[in-house]
Structure 1
Amino acid sequence: MSQDYKFDSKYGGISGYDQDCMIIASFGNHADPSVHRRRKFEDEDVKNNEIPHAHARDDVSIVKYRLSRDSHRTVTTVLVDEPENERDKNRYVEEIELFLERCEKPGATIWYMGHGQDGSGDWCFRGGFLTFRELLSIYIKLFRGKILTLVIDSPCSGQWAYALIEELDRLEVPACGHKAIQRGILVKIFASCQRHEIPRERFYSVDGCMIEDRGLVFFGLGSTLSSGNDWEQHPVHVNTTRLSCMRKDTAKCRAVKHQEWKWKDKISGETSSRVYLVRGTDCGRPAWHYVLLRADPDNAKEFHTRIAKGTVDVADFGIVLASGWGDDPPEDVKQQLRISIR
């Protein structure tokens, strides 16, 4: 892993690296009935007062403003598709390839906004759709081993997050940043809505992210963006660099078997449902253990039977994520666990 990368002890992923940024706005005319447009954003829906006169700015200006507030990000490319001035899909592919080829920094961000294809969330251009698999292939060819962040504010955009999860599981990459880094697949996806939703224009760029000391931060899975006018959308976030094993040292990573560390299980919450805090005694002293049970119903049943009997060796039933002396784990360990398994 590049020395330019560092793990954020508070948030569990890689942070503090410089990035070039590309903005793509697809607002052209499309006759294809599968193309969805974002819903109109009413001025009264703007809640974030951090952006001056946000209701009077177009989406591209807001995004440029957001990115400019992040000291690690530099906007180098802005492409806008407008009615009667649309570019061909192949031109966009060429521009994306050129952007990644020229990027000499440890990371890059592509912020796409505008139209999205129904169901797939694919990006819409004249002459066709840019699919997730096509963009991933570009990344593998030109940028593998570096961090690519995709911010997608378009209809059905969450589908790309799930497509990334499916691809990682297809490749049998265990759901931990150590393993993704070893395979060179360092991708973050921040989608403005779930895969079946149509977002409002300018909603995500205004209220879906904020500036903190560590840079631009996006709301992710489990959060809700609401206008207060009976409108909601639910962002989705996948970060392949986030550590799940509670170990910073790659050599000590406990995410070894893919069947025990699947990405779809992590995102759905199934993995977190297999984590238990066990309190007891070890050599006569109070001790606690966080254990991730093996993904086997019979194993879980036997584990609970042993617990009820009062004697159990937690290592027989899964992976010990953390342990220590005392009645309860310290708060920093609890916080680290919450970050690791979510």
Structure 2
Amino acid sequence: MQRLVLWLIAVFAFVGAARAEMPAFPASFRTQEIAANDTTIHVRVGGQGPAVVLLHGYGETGDMWALLAADLARDHTVVVPDLRGMGLSARAADGYDKKTQAGDVAGVLDALKIGKTDVVAHDIGNMVAYSFAVQNQKRVTRLVLIDAPVPGIGPWEEILKNPLLWHFRFGGPDMERLVAGRERIYLDRFWNEFSANPANFTEDARVHYAALYARPGAMHAGFEQFHAFDQDAVDDKALLVQYGRLTMPVLALGGEKSFGPMMATVMRAAADNVTEGVVPASGHWIMEENPKATIALVRPFLDKPL
């Protein structure tokens, strides 16, 4: 009987966690569509103070940052775009290389009349953030990159050999046809395999993101983000030569069960002032798996005087 009771408690705890509501941005945040760099970017803006831009990755949208945005908005102006073609941003016909998307970020900031800014990024957002930072070293005051490599930088070629990254080469019209109507099945693969505990990527979050990626053109835009990696590697190597190594403070965070300290190894290949950090009890999906620890690592780094 005791075993049955314990089993029922575990089952109900799991179901409760799986049905946990997805965090929402504070009501004080506004959303707007900003014309930038020949496309339209969906942006959430809130708070007051020094600016910070939060860039999401694949399998999520800017919505992933709700809890961090709420914390930072106490004393920052927080800007949270959906990347080109993703989430509620326009489905651009092209421009999915990260150098072009760095121009999207610049255009959004210009439209908001924001000069200098901190940048916090995750996954593909890292790649956009790096390109933006290296080209705008006087504009980016601090840079946080979380749990994803940067094309052409550091051990990129070795990282590509990891069989878990098969999706980097997956795409094209036939693949889009295979995935059409099965977006949830495709995305569940990543949410499950790249989590330390898949139960921490809640059912509400899965439903929310799967619906966004099922919108017309969304999966095509996602595949194009990966399709551009070869060009991104060429561009990033050239930008490093052209603009030099990053000189602003960089926080390189990896999930304990994912990239871990490898993030710092990647960034030390292109930056002079790198702080290493690991998000404990987390795989790749840091804001889903351990948002409290992620905020506790990011916040003091952004608060530290320059």
Do both share a fold (TM > 0.5)? no
TM-score by length of 2: 0.31
TM-score by length of 1: 0.28
Q: Whose radius of gyration is greater, 1 or 2?
A: 1
Structure number having the greater strand percentage = 1
